Amino acid sequence: MYIDSYAAYNNPKGAVMAKALDFSNQTILITGASSGIGTAYAEAFAQRKANLILVARSGAVLRQLATKLEQQHNIQADVVELDLSVPGAAQKLKDQHPKIDGLINNAGFGTHGFLQDQDPERVNQEIQLNCGALVDLTQTYLPSMLTNKRGFIINIASTAAFQPIPKMAVYGATKAFVLSFTQALWSELQGTGVHALAVCPGATSTEFFNVAGADAAAGSMRTVDDVVKTTFKGLAKNSHTVVDGTVNGTLAFFGRVTPRKMIMPVVSRMMSGNK
């Protein structure tokens, strides 16, 4: 596992961060909770006795998940069926649930193919959900966390953030935005008791590739449980960024340091295998 963290800025109050990893009776809001990594986060926090606010467009799926988690872990799980790409969604959510202790911005999707072949409306929705909604939710809930001097914001980026992704140009750009935004926020929040963390999964066994219209080699995939474990390690260390998996960490490193003229043809060939 590759963890990108500036040692000079690591939380000097290790005991405070260790205590923050006790999530019992805290309220955690998870977007994109109806499948994949979002569901895995819901299950992991429920196991740790946190109460949940589960947000996605798939209300029926969320209600089934909420019922299961409440019965298994004796916690409260509220369901909000909401399209976060719609303007005003963040404020609508806060009006219903004004107090949270943690925010996981997981909702997002990618589109695969040449830009000129993609539906402009779909592309705009991708940008709004992956970037706009994430910023809106962060800005909406951050003030109360700062007032309470505690809390965390986990933003799901991707290893796609570390280099341009031909045939997924918009998706890669949105994740580069999420990474940069979260790292800057992490720096701004030092000493406040609030922690921002960018989580960068690589290819993970979820429904994402079906939505994107792309494939990935199953043998190269990590599991959603791997991503969750990496996330908790990053929270405990007050890292600003975690990349899930040693191989993904290595690829992310080379994605940052390799000249673009060298790496883009390689990535382009990789993406050309996805039909």
CA angle 19, 199, 31 (to 5 degrees): 85
Q: What is the pLDDT of residues 142-181, one digit of tens each?
A: 999 999 999 999 999 999 999 889 999 999 999 999 999 9
- Per the CB < 8 A criterion, the answer to whether 113 and 167 are in contact is yes
HEC states along the chain?
CEEECCHHHCCCCHHHHHHHCCCCCCEEEEECCCCHHHHHHHHHHHHCCCEEEEEECCHHHHHHHHHHHHHHHCCCEEEEECCCCCCCHHHHHHHHCCCCCEEEECCCCCCCCCHHHCCHHHHHHHHHHHHHHHHHHHHHHHHHHHHHCCEEEEEECCHHHHCCCCCCHHHHHHHHHHHHHHHHHHHHCCCCCEEEEEEECCCECCCHHHHHCCCCCHHHCECHHHHHHHHHHHHHCCCCEEECCHHHHHHHHHHHHCCHHHHHHHHHHHHHCCC
Q: What is the CATH number of domain 2-272?
A: 3.40.50.720
CA angle 87, 186, 221 (to 5 degrees): 80
The two beta strands, 102-105 and 77-81, are: unpaired
Mean pLDDT taken over the chain: 86
- Per the CB < 8 A criterion, the answer to whether 63 and 54 are in contact is no
Q: What is the pLDDT of residues 200-244, one digit of tens each?
A: 998 754 454 444 444 544 345 789 999 999 999 999 999 999 998
How confident is the model at residue 247, as a pLDDT?
A: 77
Amino acid found at 194 = V
**β partners of residue 10:** none
- pLDDT bin (cut points 50, 70, 90) of residue 270 is low
How confident is the model at residue 252, as a pLDDT?
A: 72
Which sequence spans correspond to the domains of the chain? 2-272
141 a catalytic residue: no
pTM of the model: 0.84
Q: What is the pLDDT of residues 49-62, one digit of tens each?
A: 999 999 999 999 99
Catalytic residue from among 2, 41, 141, 171: 171
